[in-house]
Chains A and B, each alone.
Chain A
Amino acid sequence: MRAVFSAIVQFLRVVTATPIGRVAMGICVACALLALFAPWVAPFDPTLKHYDSAGKLLRIADPSFKHWLGTTSLGRDVFSQMIWGVRPAMLVGLVVAFGSAVIGANIGLLAGYFGGRSDNLLMRFTDIVMGVPFLPFVIVMLSVFGKDLGSLMLAMTLIMWRASARIVRAQVLSLKQMPFVAAARITGASDLAILYREIAPNIVPLAMVNMAFALAWAITTEASIGFLGFGDPNVISWGSIIYDAFASQAMYRAPWWVAPPGVAIMVLVSAVYLVGREYERVINPRLAGP
């Protein structure tokens, strides 16, 4: 697994080479840290209801010094909810991105290297999974298995590996032809050894690019699920904040409630996407142009 480590180092070096890359990576790291330290950064408990001086519930209050982004229809501090909302975004995003990248890479490796029947079978299976509409499938899974983060992560991972598998397989097909694979074969190495010690290290950068884009997509989907009201009821996510706003019918009176989650998603997803693109640009010389 030395290859993975060196790939990560190379990734960091490449991504922080350009100013755009540095800013984007900075945002990602900041969000990751925010997710870890949310309970200490947020001024209030996000589920805590606030009351005004008269004892009345502080519904949909305008932004003030105490509540930077105002309050929800249940008197909760929006800013604290925003901070806590990073957690499910990062957790679901990273778990799903990593899981689907690993599954997709392995399927691509096996299909591409061994070819023939197994390749055919794996690719036909991938084609079927390609035909599954992603969000509807996740919704169905949640309605069957319950609306918790675990089911969400499982449902997403079950589908998201499909793009990665094809891309990795394509690269494996061309790597297979390279003389160093033949050179490895004439040392008496077994097929699996060649696959995972010669070929796999060469697809790690590509798998990481896939993972970056998968992360962007996963964060968006997690937000969509939250927005539809299918998120984990015990978890506050950016999507669920928008859902609360939407469901209360009061959102159009309170732009401070509705706008920030969307902006947050936009910023984080852009950052992830840009990181992925910066990295892809370097490891994939095919893409010309600025």
Chain B
Amino acid sequence: MIGFILRRLWFMAITLFVMASVMFLLFRLLPGDPTATVISSALHPDAQAALRASFGLDKPLWQQYLSYVANMARLDFGFSFQTSRPVAEMVGGRLLNTLVLLLPSLLAAYLVGALIGAFIAWRRGGFLDTVSVVLATALQSAPVFWIGMMAILFFSLKLDLFPVGHIITPGREMAPGLAGYFDADVLHHLALPFLVTFSYQLCFPLLLMRTSMLSTIGEDFIDLARMKGLSERKVLLRHAMRNALLPLATTLPMLLGWAVAGSVVIETVFSWPGLGQLMVSAVERNDYPVVQACFLLSAFLTVMGTFVADLLYGLLDPRIVYE
């Protein structure tokens, strides 16, 4: 098991390294001055030259690459064109904001979706089944940012239940660190984006669980459990669900990828100051160091999430033996 973990971590490192290298190459493919990705062209030419020398951009490409790699390893992402502050500083807080929105909604969506899906399958057919399948399919097909906008239109503007975007009422400051999120105002702002993301991500596990349950229920061991005299609830939870959960575990990495992508648009709709929103605004301003850092961090989240998901899957399925 330890060997498995070490090997996966090593592979993750390689993956991120490859991606960082691809970023390096990509940004130097920009038409015009390849140093435009590191030094803002808005600066005075003398300042640019000075920066160029200090950043070592007059050195050969392979040397630049080596120092680039070294910087990445130290989590030094350079300086933002817009704010001239270290990118790492800008990105840190944002990362937390994204995670605070992404993780709870993903987990809740999975749990609730799986439960509802299992329940629907257990009841087998009827009005509830048809309605939920139709709703889930429709909701899953609608673009999540549009759902967000409709939600704002209805719940925030018409019903005045929630604020329209942002993480806190303008003017107020958020307390640093994790404690900052346990503020009523912040939570009030978190509510609608959370609900929207939750509802959207709910559909996939729901439909998958329903399908998985329907095929599991048909299997012999369920009849055996019933014949043993176990209560319906026990059969449902302990036997049927446990086995039907497997496909959900294998698709968790895929859903995580969707969640990371979804966070980009959701944060934009709700002006939620996370990684995704930062990336979008950085692209609009051609602030390449920030764009690159956001991308690499998203990649890190995705890769890490996949790893955790695989570990969980190994725990769930006794047939899997990790060597």
Contact = CB atoms under 8 A, between A and B. Distances in A.
Direct A–B contact present (CB less than 8 angstroms): yes
Interface of A: 124, 127-128, 130-137, 139-145, 163, 216, 220-221, 223-224, 227-230, 239, 242, 246, 251-252, 255, 258-259, 261-263, 265-267, 269-270, 273-274, 286-290
Interface of B: 11-12, 14-16, 18-19, 23, 26-27, 29-30, 121, 125, 137-138, 140-143, 145-147, 149-150, 152-153, 157, 210-211, 214-215, 218, 253-254, 257, 260-261, 264-265, 268-269, 276, 279-280, 283-284, 286, 288, 291-292, 294-295, 298-299, 301-303, 306
B150 A228 contact: no
A137 B15 CA distance: 14
A132 B152 contact: no
A131 B302 contact: yes
A290 B142 CA distance: 23
B138 A287 contact: no
Given A144-B30, A223-B143, A258-B149, A131 B137 contact: no
Contact of A289 (B12, B30, B211, B284): B211
Given A132-B299, A135-B261, A273-B137, A252 B142 contact: no
Given A228-B268, A230-B283, A127 B15 contact: yes
Q: Is the interface of B mostly helix, strand, loop or mixed?
A: helix
A246 to B, nearest CB: 7
B306 A136 contact: no
A137 B125 CA distance: 41
A261 B143 CA distance: 10
Given A220-B141, A227-B143, A251-B149, 14 more contacts: A128-B15, A132-B299, A132-B302, A139-B295, A144-B29, A221-B261, A228-B280, A246-B149, A246-B269, A258-B150, A265-B142, A269-B142, A273-B137, A290-B214
A71 to B, nearest CB: 19
Contacts of B299: 131-133, 136
Contacts of A224: 143, 145, 261, 264-265
A269 B67 CA distance: 45
A245 to B, nearest CB: 8
A206 B125 CA distance: 28
Q: Which 9 A-B pairs have the closest CB atoms?
A: A289-B214, A262-B146, A135-B261, A288-B215, A269-B141, A266-B142, A270-B141, A133-B298, A131-B303
Contacts of A137: 295
